[in-house]
Structure 1
């Protein structure tokens, strides 16, 4: 089958392209936002990529067009698909109906940590000899790809964002998991959800699709998820937590989180010494270990796998050194993720300086819905460079003032990099944060370019 994917450089659609290619389909795609690591993966797979949405990319007419959720009516390719009655589907719909059917699905849902937790879970199953398939919204370093077909078990990052312009249900209702993780829940995606209650409703729709003999693992520390489960749950329920009473618990035996003890029913079942840090990663690891146990992997074996877990690209990914300073690329774009990432780094490095370059690129951040939480989220940083743009619906001056003179707005990336290069000192830690490409600023900084 010839499949053309619109929005192919999105992390989900790019992973879908890899799966379709592995199954023998002829795959091509179009996108206007082309940047690593997804563009690199597509190139390595030999998938033909058209930059932009020229309708001639659909010549000759493909057998199927998969339409990403970033596209809407008025897009030239979408209009041609509709006008010429070409067969089309959403990515999540096609995945659920044509790929996950008959597989044993482990789905990872939540506002934060989906990519890291799904990557951990896939690696645990791989380490245990299960050879899982997976589709993850990032690039697990242990695998070097964001998706693969695999054997019986399949790990999928289960997103609450909408499916497509013609299907406004959340993506995760298409997946029908045997094991589901509900990692955490906060307000996000303000472009489609008016408040937290609307997102809770979508999570409960997900819960309602899960079989009675399937397992839901829920974060017992999270009050918003408690509200979801209280609406009704018909599946086998397990709880995991750092602080609350739960079936599964984790204890941080070292302040930065490099040493952990996992407990089940109050009894220690495994210990872990690893490279990752932070409370958030301790919880991600606990969720992955509990889900892997539901898939038949013993906790000790799961912990042994996590000891070799190498992280995920763009999740505090170390890029190199500049003038004796360590430089990282990070995907964090919600204030909670920003805060947890920086707090984890602070516990790890002590009093060394943290310099942050932040691009508020998500729809929610550009709209200013989290602006009042930004200054507290950045409290662990010593200096912050704030990438502004015409797309922002708010003025960051007030937020920068709350950073007590440590925040600087910059419209041009070249000026931001110039300032940063002049400020950096040996021993510093420089963190670039964006859920978009940031104009390749992290890579340009490491290469000495402006």
Structure 2
């Protein structure tokens, strides 16, 4: 249930490949994460009728966030079916007898998970991988392998990663996020410590330079600095990601020359400064950044890549709680951002309700320098940009909601421009 989600969709596909008879449902079938070959097994909407012949119900947390009394889940429990979140299903069923490599952290975990997966693949280790983003090298967010190795992105939200007991864990960094769940930064840090304490005996914990955690069940390897590689991806933060991925690969005995070659050819993951297209001389990119730190790092990298171009950013805040709690940080990030124009569209509510505590208009008014503009809708933002941009300009959309739809719409409108 909620099978179109970034993680749930990968679990759905891997379970199918491992011999489970799977069906799924979601409110729509348009998710970019859904494997096209499995869409025929997906129903639209939630209905107790979907439970026919089912034994296990694995669901996305988004389902219960939208509807805590979801009738399909209520009926499943009444019938005595096994009902559990998709990540717990993965831990109980798909990770059985596997050598688990889990990658966690506030920023960069999708990229590092993908890097590790591709490193193992190119080294002939043939891993199974579950990533919370589409890996460009694979064209999807998962990989099915025949070896004992399973590489998985370990999400801290709602403490999901505590379901895993890794043999190797990597923690990229720890910064406060998900205020809709964690009480404060101390609560988040305590949860990461619990994750580190769940490592298996004789395990390896690899941490970024700012992470002060120790593996009490084995070895701790602190990665002191960024890599120095000719990456296809921009930004110093990706050099840090590469250094952590390389450390994981070295623990598995992969040669340094192989690591360098693979990482320098690695194409990245979708929605990480992803080039979407060019029309009328305007370059359009899309990025997943939705936290103030990720926004700052990404926009600095964009300016380094395009030092002399006009850069326009369209940002869709994700969640009211995140926007409110990190409001001052968002203001600082955008005020200091080396860009020419910032457009803010309405907050993407996701699993939350709008209680009028904060808005994109509030954020727009707080950004210093007069370069921020509020436009409520994606369509309105596209219309505005068509009039605003000219040959040589760069547009980048940012956010974790449905703003990924905007680049295509903008390119369509630019194509139709006289």
Give me the TM-score of the superposition, normalised by structure 1: 0.85
Residue 370 of structure 1: how far off its partner (Å): 1.3
Shift in CA distance, 329/130, structure 1 to aligned 2, threshold 3 Å: same
Question: Whole-Å Cα distance in 2 between the matches of residues 376 and 35 of structure 1?
Answer: 35
Aligned position for 2:255: 298
Residue 200 of structure 1: how far off its partner (Å): 0.8
Shift in CA distance, 34/355, structure 1 to aligned 2, threshold 3 Å: farther
Which of the pair is proportionally richer in strand? 1
Query: 1:393-415: per-residue Cα shift (whole Å, max 9, x none)?
Result: 30344532324221111112221
Aligned position for 1:23: 18
Match of 2:37 among 32, 44, 51: 44
Aligned position for 1:158: 154
Residue 441 of structure 1: how far off its partner (Å): 1.6
Match of 2:246 among 286, 289, 302: 289
Residue 113 of structure 1: how far off its partner (Å): 0.4
Contact kept? 2:382, 2:413, Cα under 8 Å: no
Question: Whole-Å Cα distance in 2 between the matches of residues 331 and 190 of structure 1?
Answer: 18
Residue 369 of structure 2 is aligned to residue 412 of structure 1: no
Question: Whole-Å Cα distance in 2 between the matches of residues 44 and 318 of structure 1?
Answer: 26
Contact kept? 1:190, 1:363, Cα under 8 Å: no
SS of the residue corresponding to residue 237 of structure 1 reads: strand
Contact kept? 2:278, 2:284, Cα under 8 Å: yes
Aligned counterparts, 1:213-228, within 5 A: 213-220=202-209, 222=210, 225-226=211-212, 228=213
Aligned position for 1:193: 182
Aligned counterparts, 1:29-428, within 5 A: 29-32=24-27, 35-39=30-34, 41=35, 43-58=36-51, 60-72=52-64, 73-150=68-145, 151-162=147-158, 170-220=159-209, 222=210, 225-226=211-212, 228-229=213-214, 233-242=216-225, 250=227, 260=228, 272-362=229-319, 364-366=321-323, 368-378=324-334, 379-389=337-347, 391=354, 393-401=357-365, 402-428=367-393
Contact kept? 2:286, 2:404, Cα under 8 Å: no
Contact kept? 2:29, 2:42, Cα under 8 Å: no
Question: Whole-Å Cα distance in 1 between the matches of residues 54 and 279 of structure 2?
Answer: 47
Residue 280 of structure 1: how far off its partner (Å): 0.8
Question: Whole-Å Cα distance in 2 between the matches of residues 336 and 68 of structure 1?
Answer: 27
Aligned position for 1:255: none
Give me the TM-score of the superposition, normalised by structure 2: 0.91
Contact kept? 1:315, 1:331, Cα under 8 Å: yes
Question: Whole-Å Cα distance in 1 between the matches of residues 48 and 400 of structure 2?
Answer: 28
Q: Which 4+ stretches in 1 moved above 6 angstroms?
A: none
Which of the pair is proportionally richer in helix? 2
Shift in CA distance, 365/23, structure 1 to aligned 2, threshold 3 Å: same
Aligned position for 1:253: none
Q: How many residue pairs end up in the alignment?
A: 402
SS of the residue corresponding to residue 273 of structure 1 reads: coil
Contact kept? 1:31, 1:51, Cα under 8 Å: yes
Residue 189 of structure 1: how far off its partner (Å): 0.9
SS of the residue corresponding to residue 70 of structure 1 reads: helix
Question: Whole-Å Cα distance in 1 between the matches of residues 393 and 322 of structure 2?
Answer: 27
Question: Whole-Å Cα distance in 1 between the matches of residues 171 and 393 of structure 2?
Answer: 36
Gaps of 5+ in 1: 1-5, 163-169, 243-248, 251-259, 261-271
Question: Whole-Å Cα distance in 2 between the matches of residues 52 and 78 of structure 1?
Answer: 13
